[in-house]
Amino acid sequence: MTPQPRSPKPRTQAATALKTPPQAPGHQHATPPLWQLLQATASVVQSVRSGRSLTPAIEAVASPWRPAVQSLSFQVMRQWGRALALREQLASKAPPPAADALLCTALALAWQDEAAPYPVHTLVNQAVEAARQHRSTQAQSGFINACLRRFMREREALVLATDADLQAVWNHPRWWVERLQREYPDHWQALLQMAQQPAPMSLRIDPRYHSVGEYQSKLQALGLPSKAVGASGLQLAKAVPVQQLPGFSEGHVSVQDAAAQVAAPLLLQGRQADKAWRILDACAAPGGKTGHLLACYPQARVLALDVDAARCQRIDQNLQRLGVQAEVRAADAAQPATWWDGEAFDAILLDAPCTASGIVRRHPDVRWLRRPEDSAQLARIQAQLLRALWPLLAPGGRLLYCTCSVFRSEGDETVQAFLQHNTNAQLLPSPGHLIPGQAPTGLPVVDNALGEHDGFYYALLEKDRT
């Protein structure tokens, strides 16, 4: 096994901003002490360990602190495997959850000098202070202090002792690493290394307002260099708040990964774009692909479904910003009897629920929330959705099945099993598994350039006309 490189990593903007001297007392945006940020980060980490997604946990943090806590939380999640291994070296028994979260947060941030957002001794001192100041960890503050002081004294030996641990080396669960080794024997290391890198910010340009080149010039004039990706996308050299993007609030541009931008143009590739196609977006939230469908096929009649009513509101909000319209309905796509009016669809986009194993660089908590059996369970749901939606497709119609997963059971294996049981389905030329770091093929893009894209899977199915 080749150890994961311990190359220097730039300190994040949010973490760097924390080093700004505190402002005057009572200032609305005064920078909090580092121990408070570490305590808030540990609380977010504890939520993830209890099975809660990182996103709502961060959203619950007070807004002035949120960017810093998000930056620290993402770094902790990306180094969680190493942190757990180090804690096991320091303590034969895990402390209570709040203390364990704080201890492992400090270890995750401090184990590598070059990647630490602060000097290691500062992180240790402030983590101990966080333990003393909060009632959930006060009783274990002495234990945390002892562990961290020993870590500082013996750090090199402790890290070396964890280098034999697969989970510590790659910062993914052991079962996840072993699965990628089986499924991608030539690329598993590159997949795991890329998952550790922050994702770039990719944009989709609405052709109603600008060409890609025109918008790229607008960005350049603002000091925001970018490169073209896909058919209508740009990848920024540096992420910025969406408010800095020209025309964002007017719907001129959307934030969407280059791999996700493949869906809409691929669905009806080669067919008349301005026809009034009847299209189903079966699992539509938050609405990025729905908006792209309407940009590609402006006369289409689109029905956007999502099982979660609250997420349907996000679809409505996104469509309103883009200035396009679709019928949005809260419904279970797997139960057509509860929502289908009997009129067949010309095209169906099924972005099926999955493990999200292809977007862990954007959501570093996913790897720690998933269990080994989740992929098989989700594959059953994906197969159920395919079975339920296929009869709703008109003869000659197309269904695009996609997931943001790199696991074979949620891609090729699901589609091949479906084809074996549906002789009226034909697999058209499709990208298949889009793997970060590999040159993609079969895309509706002239040069197939997607930049640093997420992991995705696409299969385009066509129903016989008879």
Output the DSSP codes for 250-291: TTSEEE--TTGGGHHHHHTTTS-TTS--EEEETT-TT-HHHH
**Does one domain contain both 273 and 135?**
no
Confidence of residue 17 (pLDDT cuts 50, 70, 90): very low
For residue 276, how far is the Cα from the chain centroid? 33
| Beta bridge pairs of residue 448 | none
> Which H or E run contains 176?
helix 174-183
Q: Which string of DSSP letters, residue by residue, matches 436-454?
A: TTS---S-SSSS----SPP
Last residue of a domain, one of 256, 272, 295: 256
Write out pLDDT tens, residues 356-412. 999 999 999 999 999 999 999 999 999 999 999 999 999 999 999 999 999 999 999
User: The CATH number of the domain where 406 resides is what?
Assistant: 3.40.50.150
Give the pairing type, strands 226-229 and 233-236: antiparallel
Last residue of a domain, one of 234, 256, 278: 256
Last residue of a domain, one of 215, 238, 256: 256
For residue 314, give both structure tokens. Answer: 């996000």
Token pair 């049981």 in the structure block, residue: 421
> Which H or E run contains 205?
strand 202-205
Coil/strand/helix, residue 457 = strand
Amino acid of residue 187: H
Known catalytic residue at 354? no
**Does one domain contain both 440 and 369?**
yes
**Does one domain contain both 267 and 410?**
yes
**Does one domain contain both 293 and 352?**
yes
User: The CATH number of the domain where 81 resides is what?
Assistant: 1.10.940.10
Beta strand ranges found along 331-436 (DSSP E):
345-351, 393-403, 425-427, 432-434
Report yes or no: 246 and 253 within 8 Å, Cβ to Cβ: yes
Token pair 């159920």 in the structure block, residue: 384
**Does one domain contain both 215 and 306?**
no
Residue 17 lies in a domain: no
Residues near 95 by Cβ (< 8 Å), separated by ≥ 6? 103, 140, 143, 144
d(Cα 418, Cα 406) in Å, to the nearest integer?
18
Confidence of residue 9 (pLDDT cuts 50, 70, 90): very low
Q: How many domains does the chain have?
A: 3
Q: Return the closest-CA partner of residue 461 out of 397, 392, 412, 405.
A: 397
Write out pLDDT tens, residues 144-194. 999 999 999 999 999 999 999 999 999 999 999 999 999 999 999 999 999
**Is the preceding omega at residue 286 within 30 degrees of 0, hence cis?**
yes
pLDDT at 1: 42
**Does one domain contain both 103 and 222?**
no
d(Cα 277, Cα 345) in Å, to the nearest integer?
8
Residue 16 lies in a domain: no
Token pair 């990647």 in the structure block, residue: 115
Report yes or no: 296 and 378 within 8 Å, Cβ to Cβ: no
Confidence of residue 450 (pLDDT cuts 50, 70, 90): confident
Residue 297 lies in a domain: yes
DSSP 76: H
- The average confidence (pLDDT) of the chain is 91
Coil/strand/helix, residue 84 = helix
Residue 249: domain span: 200-256
| Beta bridge pairs of residue 434 | 456
- pLDDT over 90 percentage in the chain: 87
Write out pLDDT tens, residues 417-439. 999 999 999 999 999 999 887 77
Query: What are the backbone dihedrals phi and psi of residue 15, each rounded to the nearest 5 degrees, phi first?
Result: -65, -40
**Does one domain contain both 266 and 328?**
yes
**Does one domain contain both 287 and 150?**
no
**Does one domain contain both 246 and 392?**
no
For residue 178, give both structure tokens. Answer: 């072993």
**Does one domain contain both 129 and 47?**
yes
d(Cα 453, Cα 437) in Å, to the nearest integer?
8
**Does one domain contain both 287 and 399?**
yes
Give the pairing type, strands 301-306 and 327-330: parallel
Residue 15 lies in a domain: no
For residue 457, give both structure tokens. Answer: 């899977």
Residue 100 lies in a domain: yes
Residues near 127 by Cβ (< 8 Å), separated by ≥ 6? 35, 38, 102, 103, 105, 106, 144, 148
Residue 182 lies in a domain: no
For residue 62, give both structure tokens. Answer: 């007070």
Coil/strand/helix, residue 330 = strand
**Does one domain contain both 345 and 250?**
no
Residue 290 lies in a domain: yes
Tell me the mean pLDDT in the region 82-105: 96
User: The CATH number of the domain where 226 resides is what?
Assistant: 3.30.70.1170
pLDDT at 19: 39
Residue 187 lies in a domain: no
